[in-house]
Structure 1
């Protein structure tokens, strides 16, 4: 991903400060999910799935995403949640960089949750084996 720390290699003098929080350099690890802004979104979506293994550390998140020993529904939910949150944070960051305004955090959180529920509904309609109780699992992670 073209974070500002990478872009600064091609464009000398580029301000690499995170446009979302203005507290650190815009690196992959910071943007996903050490940044205060993105961390709030990630926590809202992922903490219920990950419980005790919840983290904002990029390498630890990747290890979780690659853990084939994890229960199938949990693994699907965390992988899809990761994808949804990554896209939403990236989109909001780019909007801000190009002069647009951020959506309020509650709106982004609801959009991501709804996107995940829509994907689960689609999987249920397609009759994907082993995912019959996926929506129930998702709602349990929201408590």
Structure 2
């Protein structure tokens, strides 16, 4: 039989228990880590999530790093009967590496960007090489500046791809660079009080 509670009984006590750990109050962190255990930290983590990154650019870059963007080849792999040619150039299959690194539009844009960053040319034509370039540590080049520029570039190229596909509106690489230039300046100015952004605007304009 079940004992009927009485008004004279002491107050009930309760504990949150997550993975055999008793807590005085509910913990979202412990609950989340129990439901979805942490995996090993990836080598590319610092190129995606770093202090001062633009949240929407970082999230988009993360999805791109995981190769989860709905490129035409990926959509076709799901069984959709679509044209798989690149929306930017139309000369090759549209996958991640081609769209962002090998397409003539992307290459033209990257050439302008790397010159602005002080590099003679860009040497990354695969995503693996691109991530290695982002993670390289050179005293003469700012890792933070390289990171915010790279993430903004990937974001802008995807925006341009969608604009051409859905709105039939296209912009030249020069116009895209102008948009990127304004975006980088605004990003740096908005974070000018952060230590890692000291002098970044001067670096960005040094080779203009």
TM-score band w.r.t. shorter chain: 0.7 to 0.9
Q: Counting helix residues as a fraction of each chain, which structure ranks higher?
A: 1
Report what 1:23 is aligned to. 91
Normalising by structure 1, we get a TM-score of 0.86
Structure 1 residue 134 and structure 2 residue 200: aligned? yes
Quick check: 1:44 aligned with 2:44? no
Flag the 1:71–1:53 CA change in 2: closer, same or farther, 3 A.
Answer: farther
Q: Distance in 1 between matches of 2:79 and 2:162?
A: 18
Greater relative contact order (CA < 8 Å, ≥ 6 in sequence): 1
2:165 matched to 1:109?
no
* Match status 1:9 vs 2:9: no
Distance 1:10 1:103 in 2: 30
Q: Displacement of 1:50 after TM fit?
A: 5.6
Structure 2 distance, partners of 1:26, 1:80, is 24
Could you say which residue in structure 1 is the equivalent of 2:133?
A: 64
Partner Cα separation in structure 1 for residue 144 and residue 207 of structure 2: 13
1:26 match: secondary structure: coil
Q: Cα deviations across residues 69-124 of structure 1 (Å, max 9, x unaligned)? A: 33496211111111111111101111111142112332221110110011111121
Alignment root-mean-square deviation, CA: 2.0
Kept in 2, the 8 Å contact 1:16–1:26? The answer is yes
- Alignment match of 1:54 (pick from 119, 122, 125): 122
Shift of residue 52, structure 1, vs aligned partner: 4.6
Unaligned runs of 5+ in 2: 1-68
Pair 10,130 (structure 1): closer, same or farther in 2 beyond 3 Å: closer
Number of aligned residues: 139
Query: Are the equivalent residues in 2 in contact too, given 1:3–1:28 (CA < 8 A)?
Result: yes
Where do 5+ consecutive residues of structure 1 fail to align? none
Larger Rg, first or second structure (1 or 2): 2
